[in-house]
Amino acid sequence: MRKSALFLAMSVAAALSWSAVSAEPKTYNVYVYNNFYSQNNPTANPPTNFSDEPTILIGDTIRWVRISGSHNVIASAGQAEDWNSGGNVTTSSPYMHTFTHAGDFNYYCSHHGFDAGNGFAGGMYSAVHVLCSVVDVAIQGGEAGQDRRLDNNDFIVFINQFFNGNATSDLGIQGGIPGHDGIFDNNDFVVFINTFFADMASCTG
């Protein structure tokens, strides 16, 4: 425990000497086909094995790409995020939406699904899961999870995951830059701390 505390203290000092570096926003594809939404392109060779429902960060964008069928994309009413493709998604004109709130957001195709009220949907529907920060890794009591709040619990879980070699804590590459290199070292601590303070305003619980 003393070694862990000393390592953390040294990492805090190192991180404070760096300017905060936020992860660049990313765009994720969701493919639309056979009354289905999925991150897995059915025409991919070799096939992929992503979760059908993407998990992203605030500031990231989802791009819905038509593979087959006539489908649109409409957010369920009563959510913090609202979007509507305004017509069918086409192969040449994918529909895109950038997420600015954390939460779990349901959407549906009005031709083959329906708004079930209170943010839910049925029939042909899916969801996008938006995290406030990549370092939101804990809930109350120092247990692993996400609660859209950055506090001491996240430090506890990150440290435990770091020393257990959990891939969740592989956050930094050489120079304290965000990335994954399969190595657990001081760069991961630097990125964790910089990200923690940069994302506090987005994680309000």
Ranges of each domain in the chain = 2-23+147-202, 27-131
Chain segment 87-98, per-residue pLDDT in tens: 999 988 899 999
Q: Omega of the bond prior to 46 within 30 degrees of 0, cis?
A: yes
pLDDT-derived band at 32 (thresholds 50, 70, 90) equals: very high
Q: pTM value?
A: 0.81
Least confident of 9-13, 180-184, 189-193: 9-13
Given 3.40.50.300, 2.60.120.10, 1.10.8.100, 2.60.40.420, which CATH number is that of 27-131? 2.60.40.420
Q: Residue 108: phi, psi to the nearest 5?
A: -150, 170
Scanning the chain, the segments in alpha helix (DSSP H) are: 2-16, 152-163, 186-198
